[in-house]
Structures are given as structure tokens and as C-alpha cells.
Amino acid sequence: MIKNVLFIIFFINTSLQAATFQTDTSAYQTQRLKVNALLKERSAKFGQYDQSLDTKTGIFGLQTKGDIKNSNEILRQIVLNDNNVFKELKILMDYKDEEVKRVKNEASSTNDRIENYKTSIKKLQDQNLQLKKDFAAANKEKQITNYIVMFLALTLFVACYLFYKKLKKA
């Protein structure tokens, strides 16, 4: 019965750890997708910026003030997007750091449990050895007691035999 209870507890614990890991992994994947989307957006904006630099709507093929403002606005959007990328990357790195901490804690916890199991096994082995010694000593005492009882029974039998012979003579 204890084995069944321990098995159920182990199974529930393993299931909860798997669910936590699954949640962490899905959050990490979502964050990665967000960063990738921001990087694609940045690439598209940079392409727009290159095109805006080539745009020359002024007289004699020169850039106008509007062209330069448009290029500067696209460049400002790229910088804002870069700031968002850095923020999201920091969040992504925080997820990774938490994952590393969780793995280290789990490894430490596992090592602690292994050490506790080793200690328990050693303790049980010592108890088993002591029980074997106690059993051997009790068995030896039982043998000595059996020899004493047989000796006393034999002595009683001899005494009765001798007493019977004496009575027969008399």
C-alpha cells in the first residue's frame, strides 16, 4: 500500500513538473516568435529607409525637405523598433536565466534526494546487518537452551532409571 501511495505521489510530482516545463517552454517560444516578428519588421523598415534615400522628388533630381523628413521618420521608427527588440530580447534572456536557475535547482534537489536515498539505504543495510547478528545470537541461544533441555531430560531419564532399578532391588 505504501508503494502505491509513493508511486501516486511520484506520478503527480512528475506531471506537475512536466506541466511547468511545458508552460515555460511555450512562453519562451512565444517570446522568440515576438522577437523574430520585430526583427522582420525592422528589416522591412530598413528596406523602406533605403528606398526613401533613393527617392529624389526635387528639381534637377535632388532630395527635397519632405524626402529627408520621410527618411528621418523611417529611421526614427527603426530606432524605436530596435528599442522594442532590445526590450523583448531582455525578456527572452530573463526566461533563459529562469530556465537555467530552474535546472540548477532541480539538479541540486535531485542530488539532495539521491544523497538522502543513499543515507537511507546505508541505514537500512546497517539495520539489516544488526538484525542478522541478533538473529544469529538468538539462534545460538536457542541451540544452547535446547542442549540444556536435552541434557536435563537425559539426566532426569537416567535418574528415573536408576531410581527404578533401586526400587526393583529393594
Q: Give ∠ CA 10-16-22 in degrees, rounded to 5.
A: 135
The verdict on residue 41 lying in a domain is: yes
Q: 58: how many CB neighbours lie within 10 A of its CB?
A: 13
- pLDDT tens digits, the chain, 170 residues: what are they? 555 545 565 556 655 554 444 556 788 899 899 989 989 998 898 888 888 888 777 776 677 888 888 889 988 998 999 999 999 999 889 988 998 999 999 999 999 999 999 999 999 999 999 999 999 999 999 999 999 999 999 999 999 999 999 888 87
The verdict on residue 156 lying in a domain is: no
Amino acid at 21: F
The verdict on residue 168 lying in a domain is: no
The verdict on residue 157 lying in a domain is: no
The verdict on residue 162 lying in a domain is: no
The verdict on residue 155 lying in a domain is: no
Backbone CA torsion sign across 69, 75, 77, 83: negative
Domain housing 107:
2-144
Backbone CA torsion sign across 103, 108, 114, 120: negative
Total of domains in the chain = 1
The verdict on residue 108 lying in a domain is: yes
The answer to pTM > 0.95 is no
Amino acid at 122: K
pLDDT at 111: 94
pLDDT at 65: 84
The verdict on residue 73 lying in a domain is: yes
